[in-house]
Amino acid sequence: MHSLKRIGTVRTILIFSTSSIFGLVFATIFLHEPIGTYQLIAIAIILFGIHLIAREGQESTKV
């Protein structure tokens, strides 16, 4: 909770959102799991969501 207060909610969401992407990458590298179409679509959706959150966070700091 202390870290959440220190770095902020938006940045915390961005960091936690990338955990599934790193999980997929590490599973592919170390466990030789294949990457399917659904995983690529999911990564694209996650990255787009992260982009929207980051853009919203930047706009709120300008005001």
- How high is the pLDDT of residue 25? 93
pLDDT along the chain (63 residues), means of 10: 74 82 94 95 91 74 58
- How high is the pLDDT of residue 11? 77
- How high is the pLDDT of residue 32? 95
Rounded CA-CA distance 28/35 in Å is 7
- CA–CA distances in Å: residue 36 to residues 4, 7, 13, 32, 47: 34, 34, 26, 12, 17
5 phi/psi in degrees, rounded to 5: -70, -35
Rounded CA-CA distance 39/44 in Å is 9
Task: Using alpha carbons, select from 5, 4, 9, 1 the residue that is nearest to residue 54.
Answer: 9
